[in-house]
Amino acid sequence: MERVGFIGLGNMGRPMASNIRRKQFATTVFDLSPTPVEALVALGAEAAPDVATLTRASDVVVTMLPGPREVSATILGPVLEHAKPGSLVMDMSTVDPETTDALAAACAAKGVGFVDAPVGRLAAHAERGESLFMVGGSEADVARARPLLEAMGSTIHHCGGPGAGTRTKLVNNYLAILLCQMNAEALSLATAFGLDLPKTLEVLHGTTATNGQLAVNWPNKVLKGDTKPGFAIDLAHKDLSLILQAAHAARVPLPMAAAGREAFSAARARGMGGQDFSAMLDAHCAVAGVPPPRL
């Protein structure tokens, strides 16, 4: 069984690394925050003092980091400086295609395998080992990564060669994030009309207006008053920026994404960036001057 190094123990990374360790993989972890590191050590993982030490001890290095800057600095820096020939790097962060392509090329030049495997679903799914992965990489590299992916999740989609996972994730998040804004506007309007929320939802879920955010995520988050971040408004804004950047490079206009990002910018300006992205409902209700509806 290969030794795994896991870098980045945030809301998603900590439960994912925990599930790897629970499947008895020898695991070394690193994070700037000591609290999640201590939680992994309690499960039997080893704590590394730095990324270089972790990389030297690992056959597979997994990164789950906030964005392109952190991912590039980590992988193009100490990871590839200390990676053993024939090892594998798997980046699970949400970044732009340009960053993923640069990582794949740099790994290939070093004789290191590379897989991009960004994550679908939410932190609650990661806790239960039910994440969905959109994977890019060669058949051999993806086969090597599969036991780890199976330890962390329930659904694995091999989307194509290196970079295909990242590109699929941006398409997925484009819809998932903008649906939050559309739902926020729709339910604000329903509240202003004085409509009964359960009956309104019953109607929406029975027509083509229904969507996964409204049917699955929102009843467990903002509609019951829980805006603790599973996926924060700040991260959603970051992803919309990546999506628009990638679309611009591909010469694909995305006017709804541009408008949606400004709505998320407005929520951040209200100090709501750390709340769950379903809290866009509360942000829009404040703009509309109506009370946020709750079930």
Predicted confidence (pLDDT) per residue in 192-218, tens digit: 999 999 999 999 999 999 999 999 999
* Helix or strand (DSSP H, E) at 205: helix 197-205
* pLDDT average, residue stretch 130-159: 98
Domain 4-161: CATH superfamily is NAD(P)-binding Rossmann-like Domain (3.40.50.720)
* Helix or strand (DSSP H, E) at 122: none
Q: What is the pLDDT of residues 45-61, one digit of tens each?
A: 999 999 999 999 999 99
- Tell me: pLDDT of 123 over 90: no
CATH of the domain spanning 167-288 = 1.10.1040.10
Identify the band that residue 81 occupies on the pLDDT scale cut at 50, 70 and 90.
Answer: very high
* pLDDT average, residue stretch 64-81: 97
Amino acid residing at 225: G
Distance CA 25, CA 3 (A): 7
pLDDT at position 121 is 86
- Torsion 84-87-92-97 (CA) sign: positive
- Tell me: pLDDT of 1 over 90: no
pLDDT at position 98 is 97
Cβ within 8 Å of residue 68, ≥6 positions away? 95, 96, 99, 242
- The mean pLDDT value of the chain amounts to 97
* pLDDT average, residue stretch 247-263: 97
Q: What is the DSSP string of 252-291?
A: ---HHHHHHHHHHHHHHHTT-TTSBGGGHHHHHHHHHT-P
Q: Report helix angle 97-110 to 233-249, nearest 10.
A: 80
Greatest extent of the chain over all pairs of C-alpha atoms, in Å: 64
pLDDT at position 2 is 93
Amino acid residing at 211: N
pLDDT at position 122 is 84
- Tell me: pLDDT of 190 over 90: yes
Determine the distance from the C-alpha atom of residue 39 to the mean position of all C-alpha atoms in its chain, rounded to a whole number: 21
pLDDT at position 237 is 97
At 27 the three-state DSSP class reads strand
- Tell me: pLDDT of 80 over 90: yes
Which residues belong to the active site?
169
Distance CA 155, CA 290 (A): 39
- Domain segments of the chain as ranges: 4-161, 167-288
